[in-house]
């Protein structure tokens, strides 16, 4: 499974990139606003750090506007992909952009029907929001599994990004469902490294080593 980081913070991206496990980055308007930066400048900075896809969300509303804005943003750096929210105008824009070779991540996916339509229009990625579905009392991970099944049934090349990840368990669930990619917040990536038995084992080995060196 590919691992993306879900942030617009450069320090976090640099650190996770240094681990050697980072395949890409997703941003959204809320994450960019948290950094207080201009979206185009920031996605260029990110694309220069990470050797992989960087999703930049664009805010146009009609298909012609989406297409024009997407062309400009995609031209900033070869790593930049376009992120558009699921709606009819997005489907129309995806059809045109994918034919031009501009990769689109269709975001805010909350049903397998939406994912099917996005894939048929030519989306490179769809992003089902696992955590936000859990928030309303459903099992978000079930949606990921459904989409994987539908895409396998028909051989779609569209990759599935498990998004709105809130815990290491969500990442594991996505991997067990065979999901192509998980986009994970920084604090969850840090938690994935840790285990109390590992810390305990390291402390014991260190103590025993120091004893043996003294003897």
The catalytic residue positions are 83
Query: Bridge-partner residues for 159, per DSSP?
Result: 125
Determine the Cα–Cα distance for residues 38 and 126; give it in Å rounded to an integer: 25
How many Å separate Cα 101 from the centre of its chain? Answer: 20
Tell whether residue 6 is a contact of ligand E4P (CB under 6 A): yes
Tell whether residue 81 is a contact of ligand E4P (CB under 6 A): no
Q: Which window, 11-19, 35-43, 87-95, 126-134, contacts ligand E4P (CB under 6 A)?
A: 126-134
Binding to ligand E4P (CB under 6 A) within 12-51 occurs at 26, 28
Q: Which CB atom, from 55 or from 199, has the smaller least distance to ligand E4P?
A: 55
Q: How far is the CB of 27 from ligand E4P (least distance, A)?
A: 7
| Count of residues touching ligand E4P (by CB under 6 A) | 11
What is each CA distance from 81 to 104, 160, 195, 215, in whole angstroms?
A: 6, 15, 35, 59
Percent helix, strand and coil across the chain, each to the nearest 5: 55, 20, 25
When binding is defined by CB under 6 A, the residue of 39, 42, 164, 170 that contacts ligand E4P is 164
Q: How far is the CB of 214 from ligand E4P (least distance, A)?
A: 50
Helix (H, G, I), strand (E, B) or coil at 159: strand
Q: How far is the CB of 46 from ligand E4P (least distance, A)?
A: 13
169-176 long-range contacts, CB within 8 A, separation 24+: 170/130, 170/131, 170/140, 170/141, 173/130, 173/141, 173/144, 174/1, 174/130, 174/141, 174/144, 175/1
When binding is defined by CB under 6 A, the residue of 25, 163, 171, 179 that contacts ligand E4P is 163
Tell whether residue 131 is a contact of ligand E4P (CB under 6 A): yes
Q: Which CB atom, from 94 or from 195, has the smaller least distance to ligand E4P?
A: 94
When binding is defined by CB under 6 A, the residue of 79, 107, 114, 158 that contacts ligand E4P is 107
**Tokens (6 digits) for 117:** 């339509």
Closest CA to 88 of 65, 51, 121, 46: 121
Q: Give residues in contact with ligand E4P (CB under 6 A).
A: 6, 26, 28, 107, 127, 129, 131-132, 163-164, 183
């Amino acid at each position: 499974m590919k691992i993306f980081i879900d942030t617009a913070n450069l320090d976090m991206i640099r650190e996770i990139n240094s681990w050697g496990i980072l395949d890409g980055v997703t941003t959204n308007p809320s994450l960019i606003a948290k950094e207080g930066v201009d979206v185009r400048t920031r996605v260029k900075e990110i694309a220069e750090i990470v050797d992989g896809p960087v999703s930049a969300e664009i805010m146009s509303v009609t298909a012609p506007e989406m297409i024009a804005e997407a062309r400009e943003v995609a031209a900033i750096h070869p790593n930049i992909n376009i992120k558009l929210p699921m709606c009819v105008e997005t489907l129309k824009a995806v059809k045109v952009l994918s034919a031009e070779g501009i990769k689109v991540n269709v975001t805010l996916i909350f049903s397998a029907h939406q994912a099917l339509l996005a894939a048929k229009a030519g989306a490179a990625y769809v992003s089902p929001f696992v955590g936000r579905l859990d928030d309303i009392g459903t099992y978000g991970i079930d949606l990921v599994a459904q989409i994987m099944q539908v895409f396998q049934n028909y051989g779609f090349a569209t990759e599935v990004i498990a998004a709105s990840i809130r815990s290491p368990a969500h990442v594991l669930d996505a991997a067990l469902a065979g999901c192509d990619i998980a986009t994970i917040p920084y604090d969850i990536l840090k938690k994935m490294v840790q285990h109390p038995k590992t810390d305990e084992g390291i402390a014991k080995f260190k103590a025993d080593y120091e004893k043996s060196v003294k003897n």
